[in-house]
Structure 1
Amino acid sequence: ESGSLSIPGASAVSYPAVPQLSAEKKELTLDVDTLVNGINKTIFATADDELRPVMNGIYINLQPSSLTFVGTDAHKLVKYESETENDITASFILPKKPANLLKTVLLKEEDAITVSFDSKNAMFRLKSHTLVCRLIEGNYPNYNAVIPSNNPNKVLVDRIELVNGIKRVAVCSNPTTNLIRMDIADNRINLTAQDIDFSVSANETISCSYDGQPIEIGFKSTFLVEILSNMETPTVVIELADSTRAGVFKPVYDDKQTFSSLMLLMPMMINA
């Protein structure tokens, strides 16, 4: 009303154009919930590794009857698989930043969305938004090779009780390693942590359902809490082979689901 403002502008010519997908692009329609769940379940496990950029995104693998999302940083791995009806076989690596943007925008969507992609870019068409992003180029590691198939020792445990126990015991763990030791035998998990430098230690016993061989295994407590916090079921099953092989964490559902999720964590050496 009583003043004026003058600000410089920039030529619109130099503004980046929306990349066009090549003629070999692939297109499919995806359910919003499937995409949101896939991103939410796996994004926390992606890496921040400049040397291996392929691990900095979510690997999305399309098969005729299933859709798989994978995130890994070489210590932990999450695989979320959903039953879907699509007729193409393809895969791409969605970077972390657009994945975060996408999951925020998708919460307001109700209809299925159209996804098209070629070897360099992906385009997500929503009701009133279009998100175009560059994909991470390269070959994703063979994640199925690291998932141990034969795990004779299965532990059924209350997830919340285990998370809270780990958080309490981890206070006394070594701040550099965050090592927490799990001794599993006779329907009990004994959690132990110690920091020799400050002469502090803690242990806590949690009841579980287990009838296999007694097993001792060490994990990084921060990763354990992350994995267990990203599951929503009250009970989880931990599948173990021995103290040197990865532990597999799976949610336990009361009824059959159209999706499955699996989380894997590499163990740490327990110093004698």
Structure 2
Amino acid sequence: CYTVSSVKGESKNSFILHKKPASILKNILAKAEENTKIEFDHRNARFTSGNTMLVCRLIEGNYPAYRTVIPKNNPNRLIIGRIDFLNAVRRVAVCSNQSTSHIILKISSGKIIISAEDTSFAISAYENLNCQYDGTDIEIGFKAPFLAEILSNLPYENVCMCLADNCRAVLIISADEKDPSEDLCALLMPIMLNV
């Protein structure tokens, strides 16, 4: 969910962009030295920045009402350096089961343990990281590629994971000072842990 309130248009409009053109657009915008012009109708969108133009087909229909599933009361807060966390997730995920890619986070005051194991090959890995954590101790599982994708796409130095328990969606937001006109959050569903 990304919202920019400082950009004003003549009317309220929206469209749904496929993942591939969104990824291409992300790379174009990273290199853009001037404003990007956005034009769209019910079928196509065109993005123009300097000498670069991207035209793509849009997804038909309305985007689901995602705001209804964003948790409002997640009292447990984990603050951690995004790059260190991402690198640890990637390293530990190498030893996760190839078919599930599950990793487990054990979070307690000042410490997070990221672990994975593949019993088929008798391998496992774990890594300890320092963090700031305000809440009850929790053990929660995720699919490593989903968590890594979110962490690799957030533009923040530090992230805050807002958790309720190990069964409810986790909200990942910035832990840094940010532009008040921009709001970016990611939602990640945990996996059930075999206890």
TM over 0.5: yes
Cα deviation, residue 227, structure 1: 1.3
Q: Which residue of 2 aligns with 1:81?
A: 3
2:123 is the counterpart of 1:200: yes
Q: Which residue of 1 aligns with 2:86?
A: 163
Cα deviation, residue 97, structure 1: 4.5
> CA 1:127 to 1:181, structure 2 compared with 1: closer, same or farther past 3 Å?
closer
Counterpart among 186, 191, 195 of residue 268 in structure 1: 191
Counterpart of 1:82, as a letter, is V
Cα deviation, residue 252, structure 1: 2.2
Distance 1:112 1:222 in 2: 33
2:96 is the counterpart of 1:184: no
SS class of match (2:151): helix
Cα deviation, residue 234, structure 1: 2.2
Q: Using the aligned pairs only, state the percent identity.
A: 45
Counterpart among 35, 43, 54 of residue 120 in structure 1: 43
Cα deviation, residue 95, structure 1: 3.1
Distance 2:71 2:25 in 1: 32
Counterpart of 1:142, as a letter, is A
5+ residue gaps, structure 2:
none
Higher radius of gyration, 1 or 2: 1
> CA 1:166 to 1:126, structure 2 compared with 1: closer, same or farther past 3 Å?
closer
Higher relative contact order (CA 8 A, sep 6+): 2
Counterpart among 228, 249, 265 of residue 151 in structure 2: 228
> CA 1:255 to 1:113, structure 2 compared with 1: closer, same or farther past 3 Å?
closer
Distance 1:162 1:101 in 2: 25
Counterpart among 65, 68, 89 of residue 142 in structure 1: 65
Distance 1:230 1:108 in 2: 16
Q: 5 Å matches for 1:1-272?
A: 79-83=1-5, 84-100=7-23, 102-103=25-26, 110-124=33-47, 127=50, 131-272=54-195
Distance 2:117 2:86 in 1: 18
SS class of match (1:169): helix
Counterpart of 1:207, as a letter, is N
Cα deviation, residue 109, structure 1: 5.2
Distance 1:270 1:119 in 2: 43
Cα deviation, residue 102, structure 1: 4.6
Q: Structure 1 length as normaliser, TM-score? A: 0.63
> CA 1:105 to 1:233, structure 2 compared with 1: closer, same or farther past 3 Å?
closer
- CA offsets, 1:1-35, max 9 Å, x none? xxxxxxxxxxxxxxxxxxxxxxxxxxxxxxxxxxx
Q: Give me the CA root mean square deviation.
A: 2.4
5+ residue gaps, structure 1:
1-78
Cα deviation, residue 214, structure 1: 1.1
Cα deviation, residue 150, structure 1: 1.1
Counterpart of 2:129, as a letter, is I
- CA offsets, 1:41-90, max 9 Å, x none? xxxxxxxxxxxxxxxxxxxxxxxxxxxxxxxxxxxxxx111121223112
Distance 2:116 2:24 in 1: 38
Distance 2:91 2:30 in 1: 34
SS class of match (2:133): coil
Distance 1:217 1:237 in 2: 15
Distance 2:26 2:82 in 1: 26
Cα deviation, residue 174, structure 1: 0.9
SS class of match (1:269): coil
Cα deviation, residue 114, structure 1: 3.9
